[in-house]
A and B are shown apart, each in its own frame.
Chain A
Amino acid sequence: MIAKRLFSPIVLVALCGCASAPIVLDKVPETEAPMRAAEELGAAKVPQAALELKLAQDEEQQAKGFATNGNKQRADMMMLRAQADAELAVALAREAPLQVEARNAAEAVKLMQQK
């Protein structure tokens, strides 16, 4: 669903319309897809995931800034950093509720076994 939304014509037009950062545009989907996924998984409620997501967003902006100034290598690396942070944000956002669910299930079993 995320990928479908990301590659919708409107989004692509919007991305391609940003003439100030042409160099990093090809990497934007790879970075924004995990950022959107992290948001949808509730990264904002998981402190460490929220931090990783914020770092990813800031790095994406920095990458666009480097691209605008013609520093392609630094822009590319900053985009890769953003992607790495965003992917970690996804994992952390997924992990937190799962750990709670696993603990709850284990606790229920423990209580039932005491009966």
Chain B
Amino acid sequence: MIRAIRNISLLALPAFGLACATVDPPKELVDARAEYQAATNGVAAKVNPAGLYEAKKSLDKANTAFEQDASSDNTRDMAYIALRKVQLASAQARIDVASQEKAASEREKARLEQKLTQSELAEVRRKLTEAEEQRRAEAAQLQSTSQQLEAEKQARLAAEKKADEATANLAKIAMVKQEARGLVITLSGSVLFTSGRSTLLSNARPKLDEVAAALQQSDAEKFIVEGHTDSVGSEATNEELSNRRAQTVRDYLIDRGVPAEKIRAVGYGKSRPVADNATAEGRANNRRVEIVIQPKSQLTARPD
């Protein structure tokens, strides 16, 4: 989820102006499609069409999974595998080309050796040794650069792992959903407050701590805490209660380190139900606090 929050401004860009009607493909699928496109114009298409065909089948499966469930782990995994298969097809093609070039050079070398004198061959060997030493020095330099890149990559993987753990923790206590207005974290009202009150339950604090940790890692510009009630009671009472509850959650999140200037609270009372107020279950679902993480581009597009 945090990774989703981090990427949210990027995700929002293409959606802006399209009324956010479509879900963007995961990064893995974007990468796999781009890699495949590049491979079809590269050496793999000529030298290893069979390998590229296998990769295409894998990419087709990932595309189908995306159509069925855009944001599932299964879709991301299939796209990841497709990306690797494209890369494998390209690597195998490069191996074939290198093998052929090496064999051709070896044949030519053997032919030329017959023609050269001993002193000429010695001179060639000396130059080859010099060139080899120079290459070794360059490789050492490259290795050093690669190690730096590798260290950066490992650090990024570690950060992503940490983000995944935070996501898993958050998913245990709240529903997280990508909507047109932004990423929405929904907490049940009964988990946070006693009926009719706006004082946080002690059990609510660890849950809000998880939320605060996630928000602090987000690069989103704005968070909105929305209070919602069921339809029991007057409009004025519900609006006031939802306002106070949203404010309480906002205050707590600020207390836990979320920047005050980035977060605001609003109470919608009973005006925005998500379920039927005629049933007890529906009313329970309507009593909730939602935290909306708005991407930067939506701030001007969708003023609240």
B43 CB, nearest partner CB in chain A, Å: 12
Give every chain A residue within 8 A of B84 (Cβ-Cβ). 81, 84-85, 87-88
B132 near A91 (CB under 8 angstroms)? no
Q: Are B94 and A95 neighbours in the complex by a CB distance under 8 Å?
A: yes
Q: How distant is the Cα of A47 from the Cα of B153 in the complex, in angstroms?
A: 12
Cα distance A51–B81 when bound, in Å?
16
Given contacts A47-B147, A98-B99, A111-B124, contact A104 B132 (CB under 8 A): yes
Q: Among the listed B91, B124, B135, which residue makes an inter-chain contact with A95, where contact means beta carbons less than 8 Å apart?
A: B91
Of the candidates B92, B98, B128, the one whose C-beta lies within 8 Å of that of A108 is B128
A84 with B91: CB separation less than 8 A:
no
Q: How far is the CA of A105 from the CA of B88 in the complex (A)?
A: 25
A residues near B74, Cβ cutoff 8 Å: 73, 77
Q: Which residue of B91, B120, B147, B149 contacts A92 across the interface (Cβ within 8 Å)?
A: B91
B154 to A: closest C-beta gap in Å:
9
- The stretch that binds A, out of B13-21, B103-111, B205-213, B280-288, is B103-111
Query: Which one of A78, A92, A109 lies within 8 Å of B105 (CB-CB)?
Result: A109
Count, chain B residues at interface, CB 8 A: 39
**Residues A47 and B146 in contact in the complex (CB < 8 Å), given A102-B98, A115-B120:** yes
> B63: CB under 8 A from chain A?
no
The range of chain A's interface size is: 20 to 34
Q: Which of A68-82 contact B (CB under 8 A)?
A: 73-74, 77-78, 80-81
**In the complex, B101 has a CB within 8 A of chain A:** yes
CB–CB A80/B77 < 8 A? yes
Taking a contact as CB atoms under 8 Å apart, the answer to whether B95 and A111 are in contact is no
A-B contact count (CB 8 A): 90
In the complex, the answer to whether B109 meets A112 with C-beta atoms within 8 Å is yes
A101 at interface by CB-CB < 8 Å:
yes
Complex: A73 Cα to B91 Cα, angstroms: 29
0 or 1 for each of B95-139: is its CB under 8 Å from A? (1 = yes): 100110110011011001100100010011001100110010000
Residue of B nearest to A48 (CB): B146
Taken together as a complex, chains A and B put the C-alpha atoms of A77 and B88 apart, in Å, by 18
Contact B105 A102 (CB under 8 A): yes
Task: Kindly state whether residue B237 has any CB partner on chain A within 8 Å.
Answer: no
Cα–Cα distance between A107 and B127 once the two chains are bound (Å): 10
Is A8 among interface residues, defined by CB-CB distance under 8 A? Answer: no
Closest chain A CB from B112 CB (angstroms):
4
Q: Which of A39-97 contact B (CB under 8 A)?
A: 47, 50-51, 73-74, 77-78, 80-81, 84-85, 87-88, 91-92, 94-95
**In A7-44, which residues have CB < 8 Å from any B CB?**
none
Contact B109 A95 (CB under 8 A): no
**Residues on B with beta carbons closer than 8 Å to the beta carbon of A112:** 109, 112-113, 116, 124
Min CB gap B91→A, angstroms: 4
B109 & A84 in contact (Cβ 8 Å cutoff): no
Q: Is B33 interfacial (CB 8 A cutoff)? A: no
A–B pairs, 15, beta carbons within 8 Å: A77-B77, A77-B78, A84-B80, A84-B84, A87-B84, A87-B88, A88-B88, A88-B91, A102-B98, A104-B132, A105-B106, A106-B101, A108-B105, A112-B116, A112-B124
Q: Which positions in A face B, CB cutoff 8 Å?
A: 47, 50-51, 73-74, 77-78, 80-81, 84-85, 87-88, 91-92, 94-95, 98-102, 104-109, 111-113, 115
